[in-house]
Structure 1
Amino acid sequence: MPPYVNGLPLPPMSDFEHLAPDFQKKVFSFAQSLADEMVQEDQSTAPSSEELLKPYQPEKGVIGTYRRGPRAGKIGDEAPRMTVSNMPQMPIGMDGFAQGGEFLHQGVGFPGFPALSALAKRGDYQNILTAKVDGVLRSFGEWQPHDTLDSKVDKKQVDELNAALKEFNVLSFLRDLVSHETIYGMGFGLVTMRGDDGPDGETETPLTLTPHKMGKGNVKGFRAIDPTWISPDAYNTQSAASPWYYKPQAWWVQGTSYHASRCMTLITRPVTDIYKPAYNFSGVSLLFMAKPYVDNWLKTRDNVTALLSTMRTMALTTNFDQVLSAEGRMRMKKRAREFNAARNNMGLMMIGKDETLTNITTPLSGLDRLQAQALEQICNITQMTVMEFTGNQPTGLNASSDGALRLSDDRKKSYRTLHLEPIIQRISDILQFHLWGKRLIELGAVKWVWDPISEPPPREKADMDLQYARGLSDAVDQGILSAEDARRALLRSGNRLSLGIEEEDSHDLGGEEENP
Structure 2
Amino acid sequence: MSIFDFFKRRAEPIATPAEKERMRINSMVLAKAMETTNPSLKRVDLVPYEPPAGVVPAAKLKSVMAMDSTPYDYLNLTGFSGGFPGYPYLADLSQRAEYRKMVSRLAEEMTRKWIEIKTVGDDDKSEKVAQLNDALKRYKVRELFRQAAEDDGYFGRGQIYIEVTAPRGTIASDDPAELASPLFLAKEKIAKGSLVALRKVEAVWTYPGVYQSTNPLKADYYKPQEWFVMGQSVHHSRMLMFVSREVPDMLKAAYNFGGLSLSQIAEPYVNNWLRTRNSVGDLVHSFSLSILKTNMQSTLSGAADPSLFLRADLFNQVRDNRGLMMVDKDSEEIDQINTPLSGVNELQAQAQEQMASVSSIPLVVLLGITPSGLNASSDGEIRVFYDYVKGQQESIYQDNLKKVLDIIQLSEFGEIDPDITFEFVPLYEMSKKELSEIRKADADTDAVYIDHGVLGPEDVRERLASDPDSPYHALELSDDFDADEEPEKDAPDDPAGSS
TM-score norm. by structure 1 comes to 0.74
Q: Distance in 2 between matches of 1:67 and 1:229?
A: 9
C-alpha distance 274-399 of structure 1, shift in aligned 2 (>3 A): farther
Match of 2:394 among 411, 417, 420: 417
The structure showing larger relative contact order (alpha-carbon pairs under 8 Å, at least 6 residues apart) is: 2
Determine helix, strand or coil for the equivalent of 2:74. Answer: coil
Q: How does 1:188-227 map to 2 (within 5 A)?
A: 188-194=159-165, 195-199=171-175, 202-227=178-203
Residue 379 of structure 1 aligns with which residue?
356
Where does residue 403 of structure 1 map in the other structure?
A: 380
1:178 pairs with one of 130, 143, 149 = 149
Partner of 2:237: 261
1:115 aligns with 2:92: no
Query: Aligned partners of 1:238, 1:321: CA distance in 2, in Å?
Result: 73
- Structure 1 residues 429 and 324 mapped into 2: Cα distance closer, same or farther (>3 Å)? closer
- Does structure 2 conserve the Cα–Cα contact (< 8 Å) formed by 1:65 and 1:81? no
Residues 135-188 of structure 1: per-residue CA shift (max 9 Å, x gap): 111232221224xxx622522222222222122111011111111111111111
**TM-superposition CA deviations, 1:293-342 (whole Å, max 9, x none):** 11111111111111112210122345555767999968866765665566
Aligned to 2:228: 252
Q: State how far apart, in whole Å, the 1-side matches of 2:310 and 2:231 are.
A: 69
What is the CA-CA distance between 1:204 and the residue it aligns to? 1.4
The residue matched to 1:360 in structure 2 has which SS? strand
Q: Does 1:361 align with 2:338?
A: yes
2:53 is equivalent to residue 64 of structure 1: yes
Give the equivalent residue in structure 1 for 2:492: none
Q: Does 1:427 align with 2:420?
A: no
- 2:258 counterpart of 1:282: yes
Change (3 A) 1:92 1:404: farther
Indicate how the Cα distance of structure 1 residues 477 and 356 shifts in structure 2: closer, same or farther if over 3 A, else same.
Answer: farther
Aligned partner of 1:145: which letter?
T
Q: 1 CA distance for matches of 2:314 and 2:207?
A: 65
Q: Equivalent residue of 2:253, what SS?
A: coil
Of residues 440, 449, 474, the one that matches 2:423 is 449
Give yes or no for contact 1:144–1:449 (8 Å, CA) kept in 2: yes
Find the partner of 2:75 among 74, 86, 94.
94
Q: In 2, Cα distance between the equivalents of 1:295 and 1:184?
A: 18
- Residue 335 of structure 2 aligns to which amino acid in structure 1? T
Residue 66 to residue 508, structure 1, CA distance change in 2 (3 Å): same
- Give 2:473's aligned residue: 499
1:240 shift after superposition: 3.4
Q: What SS does the aligned partner of 1:142 have?
A: strand
Report the AA paired with residue 355 of structure 2: I
What is the 5 A alignment of 1:28-177? 53-56=46-49, 63-65=52-54, 68=57, 79-80=60-61, 91=72, 93-96=74-77, 102-103=81-82, 109-146=83-120, 151-177=122-148
| Greater C-alpha Rg | 2
Q: In 1, Cα distance between the equivalents of 2:105 and 2:43? A: 35
Letter in 1 for 2:472: S
% identical equivalent positions: 29
Q: 1:173-220 CA deviation, whole Å, 9 max, x = no partner?
A: 111111111111111111111221334751111111222212111111
Q: Given residue 396 of structure 2, which amino acid in structure 1 is its aligned partner?
A: H
CA contact (8 A) 2:240 2:400 kept: yes
**1:81/1:355 Cα in 2 relative to 1: closer, same or farther (>3 Å)?**
closer
8 Å contact from structure 2 (residues 164, 197) kept in 1: yes
Match of 2:457 among 483, 495, 506: 483
2:209: which partner in 1?
233
Q: 1:506 to 1:234 in 2, by over 3 A?
A: farther
Which range moved further: 173-182 or 477-486?
A: 477-486
Amino acid of the structure 1 residue aligned with 2:60 = A
- Partners of 1:188 and 1:266 within 8 A in 2: yes
1:372 and 1:394 in contact (8 A); partners too? no
For normalisation by structure 2, the TM-score amounts to: 0.76
Count of residues in correspondence between the two structures: 435
Q: 1:507 to 1:263 in 2, by over 3 A?
A: farther
Q: Which runs of 5+ in 1 are unaligned?
A: 1-47, 70-77, 104-108
- Tell whether the 8 Å contact from 1:53 to 1:98 is kept in structure 2 after alignment: no
